[in-house]
C-alpha cells in the first residue's frame, strides 16, 4: 500500500477545516438545489408532507374532538389540537430524513459526494435545507386544514409566525437525530422501526392530543420534560394566548442542545461510514 493511499483518509477528514466559509455556503446551496430538483422530478416524495397533515387533522379532530368537547363541538378541539400537531409534523418529516439518508448510501449517492472536494458537513446541511422546504409545505397545509375546520388565532399574526418558526427550528434539530440514525442503521426499515419506538412515547406522552392533568403521576412527569409537549404548549399559547416565555425558551434550549450534540456526531459518522 502506497503512502498516498495511507494519507488519503486523513486528508479527507480535514477537508471541512480547509474549505473557506464562502465556498462552504456555495456547496450547501448547490447541493440543496440538487435535492430540490430531485423532489421536483419525483413528486411522490411530497406525499407524506402533503397528505399526512390532512389525514392526521381530520382523523384526530373527528375521533377525539367529540370525546373531548362533546359531539358537534369539534371546532373547540381544533384550537387545542392543531398547534400541537405542528410539533408532530416536524417529527414526522425528520423521520423521513433518516430513511432518505440511509437509502442514498445504499444507492451509492453519498459515496459519490464523499469523493468530491467539498466539506462533508455541506452534504448533510444541504439535506436539512431541502427537507425544511418539505416541512414548511407540511406546516402550511396543517394550518390551512386547521383554519378550514375553525382554528382561530386569538393573539396576532406575529405570534402565528413565531409558532411556525419555533416548530421549524425544532424540526431542524430533530433532523440531525434521524440523520445520525440513518447513518448508523443498516437498512431504511431498521431506521423506521427504531424511529417508531421513539416517536410513539414522545407523541402520545405529551400534551399534543390531550391535557396532561388527567395522566398518572409518572406519565405526567415524563410529559413535563418531553420536548414535544413544551413545543405544543408554546405553539398553543402563542396562538390562543397564555404564558409563553418558559415553554418557548425550553423548546429553544432543547433545539440547541440536540443540534450541538448530534450534528458533530452525524458529520463524523458520515466521514467514517463505509
The pLDDT value recorded for residue 38 is 83
Q: Domain limits at 243?
A: 3-272
Does the pLDDT at position 224 exceed 70? yes
Tell me the torsion sign for CA atoms 164, 237, 47, 35. Answer: positive
What is the distance between the alpha carbons of residues 191 and 187, in angstroms, rounded to a whole number? 7
Beta strands (DSSP E) in the chain are none
- Reading the block at residue 155, the C-alpha cell is 393573539
| More confident site: 10 or 255 | 255
pTM strictly above 0.95: no
**Phi and psi (nearest 5°) for 244?**
-120, -20
Classify residue 234 by burial, with Cβ atoms within 10 Å: 0-12, 13-18, 19+: buried
DSSP letter for 187, please.
S
Say how many domains are in the chain: 1
Q: Predicted confidence band at 41 (pLDDT cuts at 50, 70, 90)?
A: confident
Q: Which three cell numbers stand for residue 96?
A: 423521513
Amino acid at each position: 500500500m502506497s503512502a498516498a493511499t495511507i494519507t488519503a483518509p486523513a486528508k479527507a477528514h480535514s477537508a471541512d477545516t480547509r474549505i473557506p466559509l464562502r465556498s462552504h455556503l456555495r456547496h450547501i446551496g448547490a447541493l440543496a438545489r440538487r435535492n430540490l430538483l430531485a423532489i421536483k422530478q419525483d413528486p411522490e416524495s411530497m406525499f407524506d408532507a402533503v397528505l399526512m397533515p390532512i389525514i392526521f387533522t381530520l382523523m384526530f379532530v373527528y375521533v377525539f374532538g367529540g370525546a373531548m368537547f362533546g359531539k358537534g363541538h369539534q371546532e373547540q378541539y381544533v384550537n387545542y389540537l392543531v398547534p400541537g400537531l405542528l410539533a408532530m409534523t416536524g417529527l414526522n418529516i425528520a423521520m423521513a430524513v433518516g430513511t432518505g439518508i440511509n437509502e442514498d448510501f445504499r444507492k451509492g449517492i453519498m459515496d459519490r459526494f464523499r469523493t468530491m472536494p467539498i466539506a462533508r458537513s455541506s452534504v448533510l446541511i444541504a439535506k436539512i435545507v431541502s427537507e425544511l422546504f418539505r416541512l414548511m409545505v407540511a406546516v402550511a397545509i396543517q394550518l390551512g386544514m386547521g383554519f378550514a375546520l375553525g382554528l382561530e388565532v386569538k393573539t396576532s399574526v406575529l405570534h402565528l409566525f413565531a409558532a411556525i418558526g419555533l416548530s421549524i427550528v425544532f424540526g431542524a434539530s430533530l433532523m440531525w437525530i434521524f440523520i445520525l440514525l440513518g447513518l448508523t442503521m443498516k437498512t431504511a426499515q431498521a431506521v423506521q422501526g427504531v424511529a417508531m419506538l421513539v416517536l410513539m412515547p414522545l407523541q402520545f406522552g405529551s400534551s399534543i392530543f390531550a391535557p396532561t392533568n388527567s395522566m398518572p403521576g409518572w406519565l405526567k412527569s415524563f410529559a413535563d420534560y418531553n420536548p414535544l409537549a413544551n413545543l405544543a404548549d408554546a405553539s398553543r399559547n402563542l396562538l390562543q394566548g397564555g404564558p409563553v416565555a418558559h415553554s418557548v425558551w425550553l423548546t429553544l434550549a432543547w433545539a440547541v442542545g440536540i443540534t450541538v450534540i448530534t450534528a458533530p456526531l452525524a458529520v463524523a459518522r458520515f466521514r467514517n461510514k463505509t
